[in-house]
Structure 1
Amino acid sequence: MLREDVTEAIRTAVFEELAAVGFARMSIEGIARRAGVGKTAVYRRWKSKLSLVLDLVGAFAAQGLPAPATGSLYGDVRALLEVAAQALSHPVASRVVPDLLVEAARHPEIADAVKAALLDGQQGVVARIVREAVARGELPEGADPDRALDLVAGPLYWRLVVVRTPLPPGYVDDLARSAVAALKG
């Protein structure tokens, strides 16, 4: 039986190691050292660093984003942006996500896991926001959830993950207003 506290220590160490050195330079030895365990403890749970990272990304995807339910399209979009901005601005995420996106271009398995973690969960949340906005009469029938996701998340990812600049005051409010206007237009 594998000890859950050891497994959690290893998972935490993986995020720290990814943030410190990136996927390419990450090693099982470094992970084990950070976790305070032997390499065999890591290998008992995962066969390689790729399978370890895929498992963690999958676990992250399973957590998903909370679906806001503020009662208005603007409120839901703003709440979703706030949660996403906080997650992407986290010191570890701000180093790990860009590295995983680079590795996704090299490893189809990572690409699938990253897609599940970053896209699939958000698609479900945005589809629900759009459905509820249509039901309230805030959006027309046939409003496209994929377009909504692009309008809502695209600028945020661009600024925080690609350009890597902090959000200026009022950015989330302005982006929420712009996205809602574009969806209604």
Structure 2
Amino acid sequence: MIRGMTTPPPRRPPAGAAVLREDVTEAIRAAVFEELAAVGFARMSIEGIARRAGVGKTAVYRRWKSKLSLVLDLLTAFAAQGLPAPATGSLYGDVRALLEVAAHALRHPVASQVIPDLLVEAARHPEIADAIKAALLDSQQGVAAVVVREAVARGELPVDADADRALDLIIGPLYWRLVVVRTPLPQGYLDDLATAAVAALKS
């Protein structure tokens, strides 16, 4: 060691350098949905997401490399949550419960803007198409399969009842009304739709 010089103390890594705060992550995720609803996927930017979340762009890029990877991660997480299959004890009760949950989700102001926009982007991005299929279709097919299986076990449906057809009959008209046509549901609509879907499944 040269006289007059001392060995500098070892440098400490910046506090929190390897820790991603969960509250920041959740704020970014919430901002993504709000930004999607406000401007759509095409115009959405990391800068806009960071500004809406109240964080710097670096906080976003430390978690996701692009807006596409961010949206895909959110869709994958949504798909992993899944929806519990209703267990009301009757086919009509299960169908009616599914319609209630679906109607609540589709009428949400953010979902009503985000879902149609992402379906358009799915035509341009195969990754988004796959993620939407997993988030919206595969999970719903699983629930429909449980509803059909239980109805078959109770003798309410024939053994060859098709779960995919059941999902089309239950959710299809509701999606058309709330997302495509965008008209409010009249009083008793879900009850009538449940009755019609059950009758169609039994035919």
Which residue of 2 is the match for residue 138 of structure 1? Answer: 156
Which residue of 2 is the match for residue 184 of structure 1? Answer: 202
Match of 1:4 among 11, 22, 36: 22
Which residue of 2 is the match for residue 78 of structure 1? Answer: 96
Structure with the higher fraction of residues in helix conformation? 1
The structure with the largest alpha-carbon Rg is: 2
Which residue of 2 is the match for residue 125 of structure 1? Answer: 143
Amino acid paired to 2:30:
T
Which residue of 2 is the match for residue 30 of structure 1? Answer: 48
Match of 2:31 among 13, 23, 27: 13
Which sits farther off after the overlay, 152-161 or 77-86?
A: 152-161
CA distance in 1 between counterparts of 2:137 and 2:167 reads 9
Q: CA deviation at 1:165?
A: 1.5
Amino acid paired to 1:110:
I
Which residue of 1 is the match for residue 193 of structure 2? Answer: 175
Amino acid paired to 2:199:
A
Unmatched runs of 5 consecutive residues or more in structure 1: none
Moved over 3 A (4+): none
Query: 1:20-99 maps to which residues of 2 (within 5 A)?
Result: 20-99=38-117
Q: CA deviation at 1:51?
A: 0.3
CA distance in 2 between counterparts of 1:117 and 1:168 reads 28
CA distance in 2 between counterparts of 1:101 and 1:164 reads 16
Q: CA deviation at 1:4?
A: 0.5
Q: CA deviation at 1:66?
A: 2.1
CA distance in 2 between counterparts of 1:17 and 1:127 reads 34
Unmatched runs of 5 consecutive residues or more in structure 2: 1-18
Is 2:117 aligned against 1:114?
no
Deviations 1:69-107 (A, max 9, x none): 000000000000000000010011011011011111111
Q: CA deviation at 1:27?
A: 0.4
CA distance in 1 between counterparts of 2:82 and 2:112 reads 18
Aligned length: 185
Match of 1:156 among 171, 174, 184: 174
Amino acid paired to 2:39:
V
TM-score, with structure 2 as normaliser: 0.90
Question: Structure 1 vs Structure 2: percent identity of aligned residues?
Answer: 88
